[in-house]
Chain A
Amino acid sequence: MVKFDANFLAETELVYTDGGILAEFSWSLVVLPFVAALFITFIGKYLPYKGAEIALGTIALIFIYSVSLMFIHITEGVASEFFVNVGSIGQFDIEFGWVVDGLSIMMYFVVGTVALLVFIYATNYMEGEIRYTFFFTSLTLFAGSMLVLVSSPTLIQILIGWELVGVCSYLLIGHYWEKKDNSSAAMKAFITNKIADIGLMIGIIILALNTGTLRISEILYQSTHDYEKLSKVAFAAAILLFIGAMGKSAQFPLHVWLPDAMAGPTPVSALMHAATMVTAGVYLLARMFPFYKSMAPEALDIVMLFGVITLLGAGLIAIVQDDLKKVLAYSTVSQLGYMVAAIGSGAYTAALFHLWTHAFFKALLFLGAGSVIHAVHSNSMLEMGGLRKVMPKTFTTFIIGTVALAGLPPFAGFFSKDEILASFNHEGETTFFFIAVLGAFITAFYMTRAVSLTFLGEYRGHGHPHESHNMMTTPLLTLAVFAIASGWVNIPGVYTGFTDWVTTRKTKIVEYHPESFDLFALSSGLIAGLLGIGLGYYLYQLQGSAETGDDKIKIQPVWTVLENKYYLDHFYFRFIIDPIKINISKAVDKFNTNVIDRFINGVGQIASLLGGVVYNNLDQNGIDRFLNMSSSGTDSFGGRVKLLQTGRTQQYLMLFLGGVVTISLLILFII
């Protein structure tokens, strides 16, 4: 039941080089951070900047390298992969390696850029914080792990990068582990991802064993040429992989870890939400897209469904949040929903395009939020407000990020979101299209709410906030530029370079990307955005203020449901975690000590008990008992007494002769 569209295999007209020396050495991209991390850990403390300089240097190198890769890729197009065998098991070759093609180069670039800026920002933001050096170690590792993931030509390496990212997130989210909540949040993130990883793991196992290889390119090739091997398991594998993606890319219902992950320092959130962690899922889906497209189109529908659910659900929650970072977190979740849904709808480029733009403006927003929080020492928007005057740079950049996210032209978000809408429209997914539009509206609304609560109105906090240090504002400005311009690389009908960048691969993917603007989609998206902003501005500025704004839209019980995040966490803890952690495990332990052990000890005791019985009753004075029994009825009392007194020598004699008699009876009459 393989759906297969003929023009799928249309060989691309673009030409590639193998990228030459530059591509050959891109392994250094992956290795560098780890080496650096090592150095930071061990000699970092003794350096003037506590190791931050090493981290910065490394990430700068990576940035430069990715830029140069980007350059040659744009100019001549690169597609090549390299393998290193690290051992063979059975017929399998376990290979690491690195792939240099449009997709990964794009990711290199995103990671490089965002990471660089975040690092610069962090050097100042984390000034004087506890475990400063270690923070940079894990931050570097974080970036490195992401590079492992995106550079991987084999599924096994993807898995490795995947989990490494998870661990680094654990380290970073739990950075302030003195407080139990933080370490719990870290654990939550790790475990949730681990659960999702089961899906990924089994998916990989299925693919590997049915194709006989771990190389992605091989698998993709087979999935487009040799259907027999995969057709039976394709759907299962596709779904399982998607489960893995749900974990990292925080799709409903596995998104619960991401908001809690705000426990980490803000730069971490920025990096995590923009570049490194949450994009992994989308990246995986994109990487495996040809497989999905040709082998498991049904799976794509499911992917789309979840994407849409996520984008709406998370957006709604974002409305009710009072914690600035939480608002951004949920917006991330919902934006990821967009990307996943886009992939589901078959709009490969659109998804990646949104990933690309989102990376920049979301990083911008988080760093902005960070700068605010740094100033007011609080996450709660109720203790902010009126910061427009005191922190102009932050304000402007934040506004830029907001409109980019809300999707107003000519900002980045506009183009990417529009392309997604357009492809929905083109695919004829009308309901999903409107949900997406609604999502756009919601996005615009809660961002406006956030802005007005944070920057407009009067200051409600304590202390005297002030504009942040240049080390923090410079990255903001830089990102602002990206937030404005990064969308211009893929304007339908004008310039669609991005499409070519990310599609330059061995087998070209035939998927819809609009030649010109889809006016319907465009207008609806735009209107939704404007409405959202308008409503927000109306509620929180014109009519009343931050305090009163919420009341007008507090529709019980919807509001409560949203505030409790649809009770998902309650459900998980009440019905899954606590039972396992408390009841079941206790039961197992009890079973161990009270059933198995008791049994074992029991056997031992029975043995020695038996010994006692034999010793006292049979071996030593058994005859007594015997005689007493026999004599009790017949003999006279005296006789019995006498018998009771029988000492042992005679018993022995009796036993002896008794033995003889029994044996003779046995031999003579039985055998």
Chain B
Amino acid sequence: MILDLILPRRSKYYVAAFALLGTLFSLAPLVVQWVNYTNPIYAFEDSFVVDKFSIIFKGLFILITYLTFLLSINFIESDKYYQGEYYYLLLSSLLGALIVSSSRDLLTIFIGIELASTPMFLLSGWKKGDRKSNEGAIKFFLLGVLSASLILYGFSLLYGLTGKIVFSEISTFIINGALQSSPVLLLSAILVISGIGFKISIVPFHSWAPDTYEGAPLPVTAYLSVSSKATGFVALIILLTKVFSSAGESWGVILAIIAGLTMTLGNLVALQQSNPVRLLAYSSIAQAGFILAPLSVAGITGNFQDGIFASVTYLIIYAFMNLGAFLTVQLFSNHAGSTNFYEWGGIAKKSPITGVLTTIFFFSLAGIPPLGGWFAKFVVFRSMLSTGEPIGLTLGIVGAVNAVIALVYYARISKVIWMDELKDVDSETSFKFESPLKVVGVFTVLITFISGIFPGIFSYLGEVSSIFFGN
């Protein structure tokens, strides 16, 4: 268990390879834990727990980081960056994510969140020379700090209200004191949701995402759009279910509205994008809406099991296909030397493999069977309709329409790279597809397909993790 925390630390000043090994190796204890898992282990007076939920997400985070490393290697080498720090920062962010996933009190979770996000401020500005990067960084940073402070303020109120910082106690206190609808509680809930809403970039806390994504180095962007988002969601899930679950009706509705807005706005705006990274940014905003929707419904109906099942499943599948999407974008933009995908006409003919990968990932994001995305969308719809709630139904319809809108811009990229005429701007440059990236591609594609064709595995993970919030 502890090993799991320490190990990444060890590999701080060494080069990539060691980081890779470290991360991989740190998977081992997880596996062990999973295999001989009996029941939740609590440490530090219940403030730190190891249950299957946390294990699953630890696994996810570590895998993502691993893939991000793979993405990074060439990228980092291509320019002269401080490598050691790079990996160190990523790892510490990972550590934060790990902490979040098993934290059970305000302090720990806050530390986790901070630890996870602070390094990203730096990483997003990693391209020192590049103004865009700096700009993205500062915006990211300012908003980030603001959000952190809001979260804190919320926490402080919570603490003031209950005098506890361990979730279980807080929730019991709330229930005993019948404080479900006390404005203070609600206010703190709002502050917390907004604060985390920034991390998961939901409307209206999303505005940093496109700029930062565009500015940051691609691997970092990938990490941001996947891992940070996941971290945020984990934190949100924990807080909502463990602390605010009793006030579900009130925040449920709000979240539902937000989710609907987020999908719609994200998709509509994505229609306008010509920069693949910005497009992915907005698409990931829209996806966040999809992930959020089941939670909101869960809040209203109080049936957290379904909601969390859907969200987690979606999160896991989404993580890999989005990584894949970023991979392909990185490959093509490197090759075409242009960040306007309308100039990528017929580029797929240069490297059919990459073309196919792009198609797969983007259509998976669009949710076309047999690619993983469809199942993610499916479970979300399922949980929306689970109880014929009017709000759920409305969300369902909104979601369906959004799925169609999304298709248009996801398909657009495949259309450009396959169907448009090949622009021979740099026909002489041979297509670079380095082996580490190959690994990423293969891995993500496999997961995308498996999750589409045998979704059982992933839905199982989702199911297991949802069990721990069945209350």
A428 contacts the other chain (CB 8 A): no
Q: Is the Cβ of A663 less than 8 Å from the Cβ of B190?
A: yes
- Complex Cα–Cα for A662 and B194 (A): 11
Partner of A612, one of B146, B183, B250, B272: B272
- Complex Cα–Cα for A662 and B189 (A): 14
Chain A neighbourhood of B142, CB < 8 A:
649, 653
A615 contacts the other chain (CB 8 A): yes
- Complex Cα–Cα for A608 and B183 (A): 40
Closest Cβ–Cβ distance, residue B256 to chain A (whole Å):
11
Q: Mark A627-671, 1 if CB is under 8 A from B, else 0.
A: 000000000000000000000110111011111101110111001
Q: Is the Cβ of B254 less than 8 Å from the Cβ of A667?
A: yes
Chain B neighbourhood of A410, CB < 8 A:
none
Closest to A650 in B: B142
Q: Is the Cβ of A663 less than 8 Å from the Cβ of B254?
A: yes
Partner of B207, one of A604, A611, A651, A668: A651
Q: Mark B111-151, 1 if CB is under 8 A from A, else 0.
A: 00000000000000000000000000011001100110010
Closest to B202 in A: A659
A610 contacts the other chain (CB 8 A): yes
Partner of A663, one of B194, B208, B269: B194
Q: Is the Cβ of A619 less than 8 Å from the Cβ of B207?
A: yes
A580 contacts the other chain (CB 8 A): no
B271 contacts the other chain (CB 8 A): yes
A607 contacts the other chain (CB 8 A): yes
Q: Is the Cβ of B268 less than 8 Å from the Cβ of A668?
A: no
- Complex Cα–Cα for A655 and B265 (A): 15
Closest Cβ–Cβ distance, residue B268 to chain A (whole Å):
4
Q: Is the Cβ of B146 less than 8 Å from the Cβ of A668?
A: no
B17 contacts the other chain (CB 8 A): no
Q: Is the interface of B mostly helix, strand, loop or mixed?
A: helix
Closest to A651 in B: B207
Partner of A658, one of B143, B193, B204: B204
Closest Cβ–Cβ distance, residue A601 to chain B (whole Å):
12
A35 contacts the other chain (CB 8 A): no
B314 contacts the other chain (CB 8 A): no
B191 contacts the other chain (CB 8 A): yes
Closest Cβ–Cβ distance, residue B26 to chain A (whole Å):
35
A64 contacts the other chain (CB 8 A): no
Which residues of chain B from 248 to 300 have a CB within 8 Å of any chain A CB?
Answer: 249-251, 253-254, 257-258, 265, 267-272
Closest Cβ–Cβ distance, residue B40 to chain A (whole Å):
32
Contacts A607-B268, A610-B268, A611-B272 given: A656-B408 contact, CB under 8 Å? no
Q: Is the Cβ of A655 less than 8 Å from the Cβ of B204?
A: yes
A614 contacts the other chain (CB 8 A): yes
Closest Cβ–Cβ distance, residue A468 to chain B (whole Å):
67
B461 contacts the other chain (CB 8 A): no
Chain A neighbourhood of B191, CB < 8 A:
660
Q: Is the Cβ of A649 less than 8 Å from the Cβ of B138?
A: yes
Q: Mark B215-239, 1 if CB is under 8 A from A, else 0.
A: 0000000000000000000000000
- Complex Cα–Cα for A378 and B430 (A): 77
Closest Cβ–Cβ distance, residue B142 to chain A (whole Å):
6
B186 contacts the other chain (CB 8 A): yes
Closest to A616 in B: B272
Closest to B198 in A: A656
Closest Cβ–Cβ distance, residue B169 to chain A (whole Å):
24
Q: Is the Cβ of A666 less than 8 Å from the Cβ of B265?
A: no
- Complex Cα–Cα for A14 and B53 (A): 96
Q: Mark A594-614, 1 if CB is under 8 A from B, else 0.
A: 000000000010011011101
Closest to B268 in A: A611
Q: Is the interface of A mostly helix, strand, loop or mixed?
A: helix
- Complex Cα–Cα for A671 and B249 (A): 9
Contacts A607-B405, A656-B143 given: A667-B270 contact, CB under 8 Å? no
Q: Is the Cβ of B253 less than 8 Å from the Cβ of A671?
A: yes
Closest Cβ–Cβ distance, residue B456 to chain A (whole Å):
35
- Complex Cα–Cα for A649 and B254 (A): 26
Partner of B251, one of A604, A614, A615, A667: A667
Closest to B401 in A: A607
Chain B neighbourhood of A611, CB < 8 A:
267-272
Closest to B405 in A: A607
- Complex Cα–Cα for A664 and B191 (A): 8
- Complex Cα–Cα for A249 and B197 (A): 82
B159 contacts the other chain (CB 8 A): no
Closest Cβ–Cβ distance, residue A376 to chain B (whole Å):
66
B187 contacts the other chain (CB 8 A): yes
Partner of B183, one of A619, A652, A655, A668: A668
Partner of A659, one of B189, B194, B211, B251: B194
Chain A neighbourhood of B173, CB < 8 A:
none
Chain A neighbourhood of B207, CB < 8 A:
619, 648, 651-652, 655-656
B18 contacts the other chain (CB 8 A): no
Chain A neighbourhood of B187, CB < 8 A:
664, 668
Closest to A619 in B: B269
Q: Is the Cβ of B146 less than 8 Å from the Cβ of A656?
A: yes
Closest to A669 in B: B183
Chain A neighbourhood of B268, CB < 8 A:
607-608, 610-611, 614-615
B433 contacts the other chain (CB 8 A): no
Q: Is the Cβ of A667 less than 8 Å from the Cβ of B205?
A: no
- Complex Cα–Cα for A618 and B211 (A): 16
Q: Is the Cβ of A667 less than 8 Å from the Cβ of B250?
A: yes
- Complex Cα–Cα for A581 and B193 (A): 66
Q: Is the Cβ of A656 less than 8 Å from the Cβ of B269?
A: no
- Complex Cα–Cα for A607 and B205 (A): 23
Chain B neighbourhood of A664, CB < 8 A:
186-187, 190
Chain B neighbourhood of A610, CB < 8 A:
268
Q: Is the Cβ of A608 less than 8 Å from the Cβ of B272?
A: yes
The 6 closest A-B pairs by CB, nearest first: A659-B204, A611-B268, A611-B271, A652-B207, A660-B194, A615-B269
Beyond A656-B143, A659-B197, 11 extra complex contacts between A and B, CB < 8 Å:
A607-B268, A608-B408, A614-B265, A614-B268, A618-B265, A648-B139, A648-B211, A652-B208, A655-B204, A656-B147, A663-B258
20 A-B pairs in the complex with CB atoms less than 8 angstroms apart: A611-B272, A612-B271, A612-B272, A614-B265, A614-B269, A615-B272, A618-B265, A648-B139, A648-B211, A649-B139, A651-B207, A653-B143, A653-B146, A658-B204, A659-B194, A660-B194, A663-B190, A664-B187, A666-B257, A668-B187
